[in-house]
Structure 1
Amino acid sequence: MDKPAPHYHGHRDRLRERFKAQGATGIQDYELLELILFRAIPRRDVKPIAKALLHRFGDLGRVCAADLDQLCAIEGISERTALDIKLVHAAAIHITKGQVSGRPVISSWSALLDYCRASLQHASTEEFRTLYLDKKNRLIADEFHASGTVDHAPVYPREVVKRALSLNATAMILVHNHPSGDPTPSQADITMTREIKDAAKPFGIVLHDHLVVGRDNIASFKRLGLL
């Protein structure tokens, strides 16, 4: 005699049908996580795991941006499952970068902001990146320069400008995040930005902006009158 199917099989089918019919509309974060976990964990009720992930990290974005070790610390999450979760974050970054690459970033500003959010919004430590642009303001490279603590990442203006010269870049946009969630530039941010701008000027390299990525918003030095 066949054993009855586990109770969660019907739940999985219903959730898949809802997603098929509605997409992400009306689907909660824990349900989206369940959909991600279904393939990685085929023989277990994954709703408690999804809720444990959200309880630990706060929201879906932070779950997907968490380190592998942090994800594997959750009961029920293997390294394989953690990698599946990380793939979602990687896909989001690649999709948003694709909307920027090969286009003048100044005229694709909203797409650029989406890319910065996907890359840095949920990082747990401060990270500093530079977007190097050609003479048509197209993205040449997005390069990571430094990571640090929850409130500081060491940046060396000379290295930023040296890399711009090696790439034949004519313009730059600086980007970093504030893990605290508040994108308000600090005095250290302002000082460092001025140093980079001054170091780049003799070489004809323009600093278009410095973007600070917070939890919900992005602060622009240019809009704030700091450039």
Structure 2
Amino acid sequence: MTSPARFPSRLRVRTQESMALHTSFGVGGPADYWVEVRSLDALRLALESADHLKVPRTIMGHGTNALVADAGVEGLVIYNRCMDFEPSRTSGLVRVGSGHSMARLAGRCARLGLGGLSFAIGVPGTVGGAVFGNAGAFGSDVAAVLKSALVWRRGHEREMAAHEFGFAYRHSNLQGDATDPAVLAASFRVQRSDPAALRTELLALARRRRATQPQGQNAGSFFMNPDGDYAGRLIEA
């Protein structure tokens, strides 16, 4: 196993970090290596280092709906806390780091009177995972609001327009990509709206979420709905 000393010292890589501490299910064995990154530069450095050392890497957001085996995770787990937030009323866009919470993004935009992302209050994960899997809730999804995203592939990064992701229901073409891509940041389209009206909308959506989803540790919306039906109905039938 690669010595943690071979990683750049500024990354502060730890060994044998329990994944049970970082997943919503509260289970999971240790990661060989674990690092928390809070800036885009640190995220790039972690990706570069893992690729250079030929160490498998896994990027982790909030650890929601992530079921980690008791055997743990091979290689480097990158705990992504890149939460840059750059709203622009003039351009109609908000630029967000891939480690930013989707639910918090909805709240921050609402307070600034920027509409279009209220559905994100029902998405438990982070921006990177949401783009990767075209996450959605309450009748909308990432595909409906994404302008572009900065994607890392084997030492190179490129701003990809939304249409390049091949979005479908809970799917993007990043999934199954042999180059092991990583989302670094994303730009979402927003519209000027009344902050009070947006706050009312978020409260209503949050109440709806609590009324239809079990509380505490659970799989939530872990399962994809088949065409014309709901996973919950099939599970309980």
After TM superposition, the score normalised by the length of structure 2 is 0.26
Structure with more contact order per residue of length (Cα contacts < 8 Å, sep ≥ 6): 2
- Considering only CA atoms, is the larger Rg found in Structure 1 or Structure 2? 1
